[in-house]
Amino acid sequence: MARFLLIGVLSLCLGAFLSPPAASAFVVSVSGNHLVDEAGQPLRLLGVSRSGSEYACAEGYAFFDGPTGNRSIRAMKKWGINAVRLPLNPDCWLGIDGVKPALGGAAYQAAIDGFVARLNQAGLYVVIDEHVAAPAGRTALGIIPMPDADSSPAFWNSVASHFAANHSLVFDLYNEPHDVGWDCWLAGCEVPAGGRFSERRPAYLATGMQQLVNAVRSTGATQPLMLGGVDYARDLSGWLAHEPVDPLGQLVASEHNYGHHLAPCLRGCKAAIAATAARVPVVVGELGQTDCRHDYIDKWMRWADRLGISYIGWAWDTKGGWTCHAGPSLISNYRGRPTGFGIGLRNHLLTLRRHARG
């Protein structure tokens, strides 16, 4: 608790050195089971995840991996998108747990501010995502089962205060909850020591989605909040029964969906998504296919279109070793050349845009 309070004070102090982001000219909010725009018209977020800002700062070499200037944004817009999901690193935002001072705190926040402003100026909605997390004292480099109770509420309190005036944003409270039950998802729990591959971790106290909703709303921020389901956000079956209390009624269910090798979304999965989408908006925060083809996502996008579900492709990134198999990457270069998987998303979004224009 003492560390939480200290981080909150530091975040406020850092904020004093930054100009608050300008209020956005366009709006996204929740009405019933739809996202709507400033005119109250139904809105779907259709876009890409611009990966890089969740790992480059923690690895110590940059704020982003690859270009984030206006030219790179124009390349993204050529795909017919209206939204960009921007993954963040909480340790970089707060400037804690081993992040280099030059890449954390006020410096990182200023870099994120600039990119968000450029995206908004290009007419794009932005999803701010807490993508990685780590127990106290460890740098956030991976996806732990649930975010830590020590710093993640402070992260969201700071982010929500920082962007309170920007209503073109959606806050994605945690990327991929996993290896926990729905009760822990909602209210937090003690997560035992463990982890996969290189992400060995000690036991730690995890926060729940209700605490993160409270952290945002305590600032007065009103943005919609995306909450990913369990099993790496692939399972929405318990979402409605464990929906947190939001006094503003601005909650959105988030699902992640990868074809073929990574548990494709079949009948039971679709039934849970459809049942959830009948009550609250659903955004597929990550949509992908890992065999360098696009037959799976082609069918899935058509199904989602019929239900008014939003989807965001993973990922606009050419990090070393990333391909349409690994990542998977949508692009082979930052001019927007699609991979064998990315071409399916691009062509579908462009078709939707042509139909919308009549």
Q: Is a pLDDT exceeding 50 seen at residue 210?
A: yes
What letter does residue 131 receive in the DSSP assignment?
A: -
Residue listed under structure tokens 């968000």:
116
Q: Is a pLDDT exceeding 90 seen at residue 230?
A: yes
Is 137 among the domain residues? Answer: yes
Q: What is the mean pLDDT of the chain?
A: 92
- The single-letter code of the amino acid at 27 is V
Average pLDDT over every residue of 319-326: 88
Q: Note the residue count of the chain.
A: 358
Tokens matching residue 27: 């709006």
Q: Is a pLDDT exceeding 90 seen at residue 64?
A: yes
Average pLDDT over every residue of 70-91: 98
pLDDT in tens, 243-285: 999 999 999 999 999 986 677 899 999 999 999 999 999 999 9
Q: What is the pLDDT of residue 21?
A: 62
Q: Is a pLDDT exceeding 70 seen at residue 112?
A: yes
Is 19 among the domain residues? Answer: no
What letter does residue 162 receive in the DSSP assignment?
A: H
Is 96 among the domain residues? Answer: yes
pLDDT in tens, 133-191: 999 999 999 999 999 999 999 999 999 999 999 999 999 999 999 999 999 999 999 99
| pLDDT bracket for residue 194 (50, 70, 90) | confident
CATH number at residue 216: 3.20.20.80
Q: What is the pLDDT of residue 20?
A: 54
- State the residue range of the domain holding 217: 2-11+40-357
Is 27 among the domain residues? Answer: no
What letter does residue 242 receive in the DSSP assignment?
A: G
Distance CA 41, CA 46 (A): 15
pLDDT in tens, 29-50: 999 999 999 999 999 999 999 9
Is 235 among the domain residues? Answer: yes
> What is the domain count for the chain?
1
Least confident of 95-104, 271-280, 316-325, 347-356: 316-325
Yes or no: say if 339 and 324 are a contact pair by the CB < 8 Å rule.
yes
Q: Measured at the alpha carbon of residue 318, what is the angle toward residues 312 and 320, in degrees to the nearest 5?
A: 135
Distance CA 82, CA 44 (A): 9
Q: What is the pLDDT of residue 321?
A: 81
Q: What is the pLDDT of residue 320?
A: 81
Q: What is the largest CA-CA distance in the chain?
A: 58
